[in-house]
Amino acid sequence: MKIVVCVKQVPDTNEVKIDPVKGTLIRDGVPSILNPDDQHAVEEALRIKDSNPEAHVTVITMGPPQAKEVLLECLAMGADRAILVSDRAFAGADTWATSETLAGAIRRLDGYDVIFCGRQAIDGDTAQVGPQIAERLQIPQVTYVEGFEDKGSNFVVRRQLEDGYEMVQVQKPALFTAIQELNEPRYASIPGIVTACREKEVEVFNVDDIEVDRKQIGLEGSPTQVKRSFTPEAKGKGVMLKGSSKEMAEQLIVNLKKKHLI
């Protein structure tokens, strides 16, 4: 089974700050991490490989040269192949251009049975890239996947809903976006880290190495325009009421009266 996982290097958002004047992200000195949902995507691919040694896991990221770090992390976890899609031509890409670029890189692979993405990146936060890749490759997709089974000729997945779940049977090849309920990601082992650093290498695809419509990549191919970025005002601290329903209702009335709201 040929498995592809799309991963993104993101700033550790606990520490992200926005420049109050320019409205842009302050990235200097902010540590980068493998996007949390993508850790679950990689783990699911590795679990397939654990039960089927013939399986082959390729991890792909589009980003600047330093995005190689997350690929090395995935190799250390157990991925077989890592591809950094990087070229000045991709700079300024919105989700539309990012998905075209990633789909272009995937088209250059020697086929695939399943593609995993994270549901959402914690910086861009749109949850658009996975579904857009599937659309561009014209394959079925299921988002919010919290359970995955390979049934041979098809996949059966459990998709999280707001008030429950649904079971979906999907033909191969297909793309799934992973959420944290899907699994518990493994840590890279010490031998895994040593092998990744000494024996495995990250391949780099530039714009000439992928199959894309050049009008749909980079800044030129990005229809999104960001009007304004800002830090939302901090909300007041919430108050937790304790006791029986009656006691809590009474406390609530007292609190609202104190604030002259009733």
Ligand X SMILES: Cc1cc2nc3c(=O)[nH]c(=O)nc-3n(C[C@H](O)[C@H](O)[C@H](O)COP(=O)(O)OP(=O)(O)OC[C@H]3O[C@@H](n4cnc5c(N)ncnc54)[C@H](O)[C@@H]3O)c2cc1C
* Angstrom distance (rounded) from CA 240 to CA 140: 44
Radius of gyration of the chain (CA): 22
* Angstrom distance (rounded) from CA 191 to CA 239: 48
For residue 57, count CB atoms less than 10 angstroms from its CB and return exposed for 0-12, middle for 13-18, buried for 19 or more.
Answer: buried
**Cβ closer to ligand X: 65 or 92?**
92
Instruction: Report the nearest approach of ligand X to the CB of residue 142 (Å).
Output: 14
Under rule CB under 6 A, residue 95 binds ligand X:
yes
Please list every residue from 132 through 171 that binds ligand X, using CB under 6 A. Answer: none
Under rule CB under 6 A, residue 128 binds ligand X:
yes
**Cβ closer to ligand X: 101 or 192?**
101
Of all residues in the shown chain, the one whose CB is closest to ligand X is 124
Instruction: Report the nearest approach of ligand X to the CB of residue 226 (Å).
Output: 5
Under rule CB under 6 A, residue 37 binds ligand X:
yes
* Angstrom distance (rounded) from CA 152 to CA 171: 10
Strands 154-161 and 141-150: antiparallel
Q: How many residues does the chain have?
A: 262
Residue 185 structure tokens: 């990601």
- Applying CB under 6 A, the span of 15-23, 26-34, 119-127, 161-169 interacting with ligand X comes to 119-127
Instruction: Report the nearest approach of ligand X to the CB of residue 111 (Å).
Output: 19
Residue 187 structure tokens: 């840590």
Instruction: Report the nearest approach of ligand X to the CB of residue 34 (Å).
Output: 10
Q: What is the DSSP letter of 166?
A: E
Under rule CB under 6 A, residue 32 binds ligand X:
no
* Angstrom distance (rounded) from CA 127 to CA 244: 40
**Cβ closer to ligand X: 35 or 58?**
35
Under rule CB under 6 A, residue 62 binds ligand X:
yes
Residues lying near ligand X in the complex (CB under 6 A) are found at: 6-8, 35, 37-38, 41, 60-63, 91-95, 98, 102, 117-118, 120-121, 123-130, 222, 224, 226
